[in-house]
Amino acid sequence: MGNVMLVTGASRGIGAATARLAAERGYAVCVNYLRRRDAADAVVAAIARAGGKALAVGADVASEADVARMFDAAREALGPVSVLVNNAGILEQQMRLEDMSLARLQRVLAANVTGTFLCSREAVRRMSKRRGGAGGAIVNVSSMAARLGSPGEYVDYAAAKGAVDALTIGLAKEVAADGVRVNAVRPGLIYTDIHASGGEPGRVERLKDAVPLKRGGQPEEVARAILWLASDEASYVTGSFIDVSGGR
């Protein structure tokens, strides 16, 4: 079997675009989803129509048991995972920190931080040459929010993505000698459904003029950066970031 990519949160947005592009470039793709089985199945069907191979697997990335089961399912159906894309993440209603509940903070950190750590841990256990694996690559989907802070909107999400950035740097150094590269992309204002989760579906339109390129980005533009970091073209790149943000 050839290269296998596991993309978390791949039923929509950047994850779906990454799964489709990966399939076009010869990867077999595990399309992870949490609730939207129909959307994940649609991504798998589109890949199959184009002659690719994909599998939809429902799993909560913040659940240790679910993550292990997801990797097992991918291996059984497609082969050993050679690339992990940690894309799954959430944000919640725009508000100031002083108004955020503990329950909200726990949800945001579980999905964005705990999920990324658990999936990365499972990937390393299976990819590491020190553990008998063949090596591989991990690409984390962070956010420009980690650098900008998202004041008045979702500093919890921004802080969670800051943790993803720190993980990217530390883990890259930790597993470099084991044949595993770890990098990240930091999307800026991208046209995806995540903005509706924050209560403002038109957020990109409102803010795009503040972007030097004067427009929002498309999920496919982020996917191209992810695929480059995953590829052998980036063989000497680890612990690095690509900002896909129009210059913002």
Averaged pLDDT, 143-149: 97
The token pair that represents 176 in the structure block: 């470099």
Mean per-residue pLDDT of the chain: 96
Walk me through the domains of the chain, giving residue ranges and CATH numbers: 4-243 (3.40.50.720)
Q: Catalytic residue, from 27, 33, 154, 157: name it.
A: 157
pLDDT reported for residue 1: 41
Averaged pLDDT, 163-173: 98
CA distance 3 to 1: 7
CA distance 114 to 215: 32
pLDDT band of 201, cuts 50, 70, 90: confident
Averaged pLDDT, 191-203: 81
The pTM for the full model equals 0.95
> Does the annotation count 27 as an active-site position?
no
CA distance 112 to 142: 9
Residues of the chain with pLDDT > 90, as a percent, come to: 92
Averaged pLDDT, 17-41: 97
